[in-house]
């Protein structure tokens, strides 16, 4: 089964939110993937922030049972796709496992590649991921590279959490829609 890892800093806001939304949306679309998350400086033993839990529920995720875990080279090496909250997280991921440069993207970057691509038809998820990877050099980056990042809401206002929720909702919706449009199911 194809596996996806979502990465942020503490694994208590952005990455578990994206993990939970991807998991629920893939399940609803009958796309067989596993989705996990981790943090580059995970607050192991904590739980998601209340605001992130509320966002997960608002957008159709299930925050129950989430426990932060530390990002490791083994986690990165054992997945097919890594989605990070920021470009910095992508760099940290690749530094742990250099081969991950081939299959690591920011969440926004991957959503942009999937959304901007001509219709990609792929019989398998792995074929779909290979087709998207091939687009990486052909698709221009945003004029402001920060558009590939999702800001960190930790210890910030509800307005920031709401912006992050909208950004994660939009990106995860685009990603799942891209998988469905390609016909990639297993």
Q: How many domains does the chain have?
A: 1
> Residues, the chain, total?
186
CATH number at residue 11: 3.40.50.2300
Q: How is the beta sheet containing 81-84 ordered, strand by strand?
A: 33-39, 2-8, 81-84, 104-106
| Domain extent for 174 | 2-182
With bands split at pLDDT 50, 70 and 90, how would you rate the model's confidence at 100?
A: very high
What is the pTM (predicted TM-score) of this model? Answer: 0.94
- Residue 128 confidence class, pLDDT cut points 50, 70, 90: confident
Mean pLDDT in residue range 53-76: 96
Distance CA 173, CA 142 (A): 19
Helices vs strands, H then E, count in the chain = 7, 4
């Amino acid at each position: 089964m194809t596996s996806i890892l979502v990465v942020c800093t503490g694994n208590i806001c952005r990455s578990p939110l994206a993990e939970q939304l991807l998991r629920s949306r893939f399940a609803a679309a009958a796309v067989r993937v596993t989705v996990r998350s981790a943090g580059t400086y995970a607050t192991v033993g904590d739980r998601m922030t209340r605001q992130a839990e509320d966002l997960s529920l608002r957008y159709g995720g299930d925050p129950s049972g989430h426990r932060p875990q530390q990002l490791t080279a083994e986690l990165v090496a054992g997945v097919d796709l890594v989605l990070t909250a920021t470009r910095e997280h992508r760099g940290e991921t690749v530094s742990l496992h250099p081969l991950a440069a081939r299959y690591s993207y920011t969440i926004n970057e991957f959503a942009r590649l999937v959304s901007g691509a001509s219709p990609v038809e792929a019989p398998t998820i792995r074929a779909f991921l290979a087709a998207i990877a091939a687009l990486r050099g052909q698709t221009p980056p945003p004029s402001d590279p920060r558009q590939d990042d999702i800001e960190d809401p930790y210890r910030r206002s509800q307005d920031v959490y709401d912006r992050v929720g909208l950004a994660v909702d939009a990106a995860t919706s685009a990603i799942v829609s891209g998988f469905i449009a390609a016909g990639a199911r297993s």
